[in-house]
Structure 1
Amino acid sequence: MAVKLTLQSVKTAEAKPARYIVWDTATKGFGLRVNVDGSKTYILKYAFEGRQKWHTIGKHGSPWTPETARKEALDVLGLVRSGIDPADAARERKAAGVTVSDLCDQYLAAARAGRTLTKFDVPKKASTLATDEGRIRRHIKPLLGKKLVRKLTGKDVEDFLHAVAAGKTAVDEKTGKHGRAIVEGGKGTATRTVGLLGGILTFAMKEGLRSDNPVKGVQRFKDGKNTRFLSGQELERLGGAFEASHADWDQFEAMHADWIAAGRKGASPRPPDAASPTALAAIKLLLFTGARRSEILGLEWAHVDLDRGYLHLPDSKTGAKDIPLGEPAVDLLRAVPRLNGSPFVFPATRGDGSYKGLPKAWAKLYARAGLTKTRIHDLRHSFASVGASTGSSLLMIGFLLGHKDPKTTQRYAHVAHDPAKAAAENVARSIVAQMKRSGAE
């Protein structure tokens, strides 16, 4: 269909079951796309370097009329005749004033909407987004925020890496009445933040704000992520702390029962300053399964299959997963009381939701065990290291932990070698003993 596009011809173009184009007879390639819903958009079809391309001018209505849209089409065709691809020109105009700070905001908005995926092809979790927001706010925006995205260079990224590593963004400040934010920087933080910056700039490429990623080619520090795990002696001390904490609560419950039986006479017994029974059970389950903290604290009874010995999680950091349960984990879960009205295995002590007090409880427990520099996540590493030291393959350990990337499990490879080393030592000692016996004879 071809007519000269005027206000009247545009007005009379009616919607049909399929969208169609009304071509303008006055300007080649200029047309009006009429959509199924009745909306109308001015477009231009042109050829550049032998390839057919499309340029969207805009929807009919202010500022676009047949005349203003035709003028825009002629301007675009002028660029084509000058050897300039209008698509490239549009990208440059779009990117002209966008700063790194603007880009970070766009990236976070897209991530919250589920438009950016992780390497596991799933949207980022709220906890991951919170970490990203912190790195953007504390490191990227202060050092790179004012720079234009299109002018960012590999040298800028390299300078940023070393500035964060040197502690240039370190801060210790109050956050509210009782809170405090301590940001130290360092090589690990620098490497991980540059990794995030690389993802943000890949997003910029998809949005047409850049044609390349300046993070590529920048040599980062080795990411020495903390892979601390508890030794056999430390696990023994942790077991003692569990027993002592349970004993404190048993004593409190006995005293409380006596107080009730005595008619509530005198001061009521005070709860012990120890990790609560709920926290103790959650921590043990973390240690017995190697699961992530969010997976255990968000665990619902509907996801627990004690007959088959599995946790069937509908969602996790890597998507839906099944966690096999050993007998100690099954026995522990059978002993956990169910709170009426709560779907959670470890419910909150107040209100709805799941238990939130694990960090403080863990601090009490590991201090009681005499452990230092130990995080809750180190229980996951400890589960994996015990598996490796007892002969489980890295493939099996990766399955138990829910790793999708084999490189993640590789950190436990040195532990897996310990049984072989012990076997080699036993053989060598036997040979030496036999040689000595032979010489004596």
Structure 2
Amino acid sequence: MRRSGAKTFIAQYRIGGRGNPTRKVTIGQVGKLTVEEARDAAKEVLSKAALGNDVAAERARKKAELTVNALCDEYLSEGCGHKKPLTLEADTGNITNHIVPLLGRKKIGEVTRTDVERFLRDVAKGKTAGEFETDKGTRRVKGGAGAARRAYRVLSGIFTFAVNRGYIVSNPCRGVKAGADGKGERYLSADELQRLGDTLRIAETEGLPTVLNDGVNDKHRPKDLTDRRIEVSPHAIAAIRLLLLTGCRRNEILCLKWEHVDFERGVLNLPDSKTGAKKVYLSAPALQVLSDLCENWRTKDFEYVIEGAKQDTPRDLKRAWTTIRRHAGLGNLRLHDLRHSFASMAVSSGMSLPMIGKLLGHASAATTQRYAHLADDPVKRAAESTAGTIAAAMGGNAGTVVAIRRAGE
């Protein structure tokens, strides 16, 4: 019986003596088979086992004849029930764009570690990159090291699924070094935070000045840029402010609905997030942003707090964030880095990691540990302050810095 409530009849047996491992064979689902039918099928399996015929091994051999393409189809239909829609969408993209084109025709029992390493190299070199016409429009596929690592992680999960189902004995991805993502975490400095705040104020009052992209043909450039301003949606500006003031993930704000906002208690009651349902406690500045939106910019027909171009869709922040980021001079700062900045401010103010984990909605304490190194600065300041106080009380000079001599000096 699974956590989902699905029930399955199985037969369990052992080939040979007690020292050999037991085997399990799925007979069928409860409801599709009666108890009597399941018992008859189980008796047949156990009879073969008594004669030395391993039904589970025979089934595994047949499943090993599956192609990677067929395994991917089974994985998407039966192995992703626990995944969020966006994660499932990303997995499907990696399967369609990289895994099936490079490995789809191979039998899963024939895929080796060398094949996986070649797969990584091919995706990194852009072998699967290109533009492809589909029923939904043009699909643009990019290669590169980052794309290779993401596709590899999906591939490893698919083969783990195959191992758990008994189709293959081991995961060919095991031991392959895909490398770290290397993007690191970016935190807003005090100066950057000031520039971002100034940019948001200019954007919502007078609009941002037009900036021409390099490489644009002169004849296509506007003659006079003096009065040209880029208008940024007040909903996009509010979304960026809320990301900074709450530490929420991007889609937790973009998919936020008015029914989730409790002004009286000052909380967001999110029915779903990366870690499940959770409450987000709102500060006074965050409540003010929501109150201004509700009073000045809320459209009755829209259920989303951050209104999009269409009534039933949330807003896309890509263009607005690119414009604001460029004007503020924030380089390649990502929207997700606003969440990291929220966490870094919390650490600098002396909050404990468990408390920060609750603020951010982390399901595991290990996730919050990424911010542990940021606690060094406040701890260092506390140590200096305490030692200075003690030294002053003892009549010493708290501000003297002693140089440590090197060996041989």
TM-score range, shorter chain: 0.7 to 0.9
Tell me how large the CA RMSD over aligned residues is.
3.7
**2:61 maps to which of 86, 89, 92:** 92
Out of 346, 361, 375, the residue aligned to residue 306 of structure 2 is: 346
Partner of 1:49: 16
Please give the residue correspondences for 1:9-408 in structure 2 after superposition, counting only pairs within 5 Å.
Answer: 48-49=15-16, 81=51, 83-96=52-65, 98-111=66-79, 114=81, 123-164=82-123, 166-169=124-127, 171-173=129-131, 181=140, 183-186=142-145, 188-248=146-206, 272-337=229-294, 338-350=298-310, 352-408=311-367
Q: Helix, strand or coil: the match of 1:417?
A: helix
Deviation of residue 280 (structure 1)?
0.6
Contact 1:291 1:380 in 2 (8 A): yes
What corresponds to 1:23 in structure 2? Answer: none
Runs of 4+ in 1 over 4 A off after TM superposition: 43-48, 50-57, 73-80, 174-180, 424-437
Cα 1:77–1:178 shift into 2, 3 Å? closer
- The letter for the 1-side match of 2:72 is C
User: One-letter code of the match for 1:141?
Assistant: V
Q: CA deviation at 1:130?
A: 1.6
Cα distance in structure 2, aligned partners of 1:47 and 1:425: 67
The Cα shift of 1:149 comes to 0.6
Name which of structure 1's ranges 421-430 and 326-335 shifts more when overlaid on structure 2: 421-430
Q: Rate the CA distance shift 1:148–1:178 in 2: closer, same or farther, 3 A.
A: closer
Does the aligned pair in 2 maintain the 1:297–1:355 contact within 8 Å? Answer: yes
Q: What is the letter of the counterpart of residue 303 of structure 2?
A: P
The 3 A distance-change label for structure 1 pair 340 and 183 is: same
> Could you list the runs of 5+ residues in structure 1 that have no partner in the other structure?
1-42, 58-68, 115-122, 251-269
Task: State the alpha-carbon separation in 2 of the partners of residues 361 and 229 from structure 1.
Answer: 20
TM-score normalised over the length of structure 1? 0.69
State the SS of the aligned residue for 1:141.
Answer: helix
Cα distance, 1:161 vs. partner? 3.6
Name the CA shift for 1:235/1:74 in 2 (closer, same or farther; >3 Å): closer
Q: Measure how far apart 1:221 and its partner are.
A: 1.7
8 Å contact kept, 1:100–1:148: yes
* Structure with max Cα Rg: 1
Tell me, yes or no, if the aligned pair for 1:80 and 1:86 is still in contact at 8 Å. no
CA displacement, residues 43-93 of structure 1 (integer Å, 9 cap, x when unaligned): 999985378987869xxxxxxxxxxx99xx999967864x33123112212
* Partner Cα distance (1:190, 1:282) in 2: 32
Closer, same or farther in 2 for the Cα pair 1:421/1:143, shift >3 Å?
farther
Of 350, 364, 370, the residue aligned with 1:411 is 370
- The CA deviation at 1:345 is 1.3
Per-residue deviation, residues 365-417 of structure 1 (Å, max 9, x unmatched): 11121211122111111111111122122221211111112222222222221
Cα displacement string for residues 314-342 of structure 1 (whole angstroms, at most 9, x for unaligned residues): 11111111111111111111111232133
Aligned length: 349
Q: What displacement does 1:244 show?
A: 0.6
Assess, with a 3 A threshold, how the Cα gap between structure 1 residues 428 and 169 changes in structure 2: closer, same or farther: farther
Mapped to 1, the partners of 2:399 and 2:316 lie a distance apart of 60
Contact preservation (8 Å) 1:101, 1:141: yes
Mapped contact 1:229–1:378 kept (Cα < 8 A): yes
**1:410–1:225 Cα change, 3 Å:** farther
- How far off its partner does 1:99 sit? 1.4
- Cα offset, 1:220, TM superposition: 3.9
Q: Give, in angstroms, the shift of residue 141 of structure 1.
A: 2.4
**Deviation by residue 1:234-280 (Cα, 9 ceiling, x = unmatched):** 11100010111121169xxxxxxxxxxxxxxxxxxx99513211111
Whole-angstrom CA distance in 1 between matches of 2:128 and 2:63: 34
SS of residue paired to 1:421: helix
Identity fraction in percent: 43
Residues 422 and 173 of structure 1: CA distance in aligned 2, closer, same or farther (over 3 Å): farther
Distance in 2 (CA, whole Å) between partners of 1:172 and 1:91 is 37
TM-score, structure 2 normalization: 0.74
Q: Are the equivalent residues in 1 in contact too, given 2:11–2:45 (CA < 8 A)?
A: no
Unaligned runs of 5+ in 2: 1-9, 29-39, 209-226, 402-409
